Chain A
């Protein structure tokens, strides 16, 4: 079974430029998460989708970040404009059910963003 796919794996941009990250979750997984992991820190949730609906975006900096999950499968996370402090690894995760008992989140390899 293929895991969570993310692209690109690495991205270097100058500040004030836009950037987008793409995620393809595990087939059949209804729940999709975007996390940000700063260097030396644990991942922090940015947004959670149930199918195509964003059900928790309370931690998403909405002035510059946006996300979409059209058709409830692939998802894109965008930053516009990027700031130096956005340098981090952006992780996508998916889980097979919204039930509580078996909500293992499977993570992709992440996109490492460097803003110069």
Chain B
């Protein structure tokens, strides 16, 4: 069993919809939680970074961490076609080695 589980999708939504992306993890020692966005043929880029539990908001993006249920979420409001990409969740207990999920492929249609 991988330490981070993520539904690969694909997920297709119309423009303007609210998108919910989720991951579960197994190691309670994880303290750092991240969401990366990866466009086709590109490297991942950091979207959101959260330490421990709680919510973090940045523009149209909100990241949530629930350590009691080992569940992390990313919400995208007013989704745009430019949001079409693969979204990777990642966790770490040290801040160094990242444990990535498989990634969820998102398509936002105009």
Residues of B near A106 (CB, < 8 A) are 45-46
Is A53 an interface residue when CB atoms closer than 8 A count as contact?
Answer: no
Interface string of B67-89 (1 = CB under 8 A from A): 00000000000000000000010
Interface of B is mostly: loop
Residues of A near B103 (CB, < 8 A) are 40-42
Q: How large is the interface on B (under 10, 10 to 19, 20 to 34, 35 or more residues)?
A: 20 to 34
Q: A42-B88, A42-B100, A42-B103 are in contact. Are A110 and B43 (CB under 8 A)?
A: yes
In-complex Cβ contact of A107 among B45, B95, B101, B102 (8 A): B45
> Could you tell me the distance between the alpha carbons of A56 and B42 in the complex, rounded to whole angstroms?
25
**Interface core residue of B6, B43, B49, B102 (most chain A CB under 10 Å):** B43
Nearest chain-B residue to A6 (Cβ)? B43
> Could you tell me the distance between the alpha carbons of A48 and B94 in the complex, rounded to whole angstroms?
13
Is A27 an interface residue when CB atoms closer than 8 A count as contact?
Answer: no
* Chain B interface residues toward A at CB < 8 A: 4, 6, 8, 32, 41-46, 49, 51, 88, 90, 94-98, 100-103
* Chain A interface residues toward B at CB < 8 A: 4, 31, 40-45, 48, 56, 91, 93, 98-101, 103-110, 112
